[in-house]
Amino acid sequence: MPASPPAPSRSQPVCRVLTAGALTLVASAGVACSGPVEPEFQRVERVRVAGLGPDGMLRLNADAVFLNPNRFPLEATALDLRVEVNQKPAAHVRQALAARMPAAGEFTLPLEIDVEPGVLSTGSGSLLETLRQARRASVVMEGSLEVTAAGVRFRVPVRHEREHDLAR
């Protein structure tokens, strides 16, 4: 007579649950252990002349937009940008920051850049004439944004080159 199959043990369902639980825990740990992903520079927008400072420098305002692909916020800690306007060196911006980049989305960093009024000049006119005529300018920004998360530091490269309407 053939042997009958063994009776099911009560421990088999428990083993399956423990095995499934262990696999879920290992998979979760793998996701949790993967470090932060480097944010990305997206664009510069709204470059405009804000006015003339008391030191005679022309203030340009702009917004640099970055993308944080992580599911947790990051901390922007430093900015280092070289700026050219109309193919002329205009400024070197070095700034310490304490700005929080929200999780999984775009982050806008407002920029204030002081430049010599001559970078917008097209001739030998007065400063007032230069400001009146400065409707458009070619702007180049190159450098990096330093970002930290959980002890990991990133230098996000920034490279922007575009003609901007300064009157907007």
- Give 56-97 pLDDT, tens digit per residue: 898 999 999 999 999 999 999 999 999 999 899 999 999 999
Question: What does the pLDDT read at residue 1?
Answer: 57
pLDDT (0 to 100) of residue 166: 85
The DSSP call for residue 3 is: P
- pTM value? 0.75
Q: Quick one: pLDDT at residue 30?
A: 42
Our measurement of the distance from residue 8's CA atom to the centroid of its chain's CA atoms, rounded to an integer in Å, reads 59
Contact status, residue 92 vs residue 82, Cβ threshold 8 Å: yes
If you search the block for the tokens 């990051």, which residue do you land on? 74
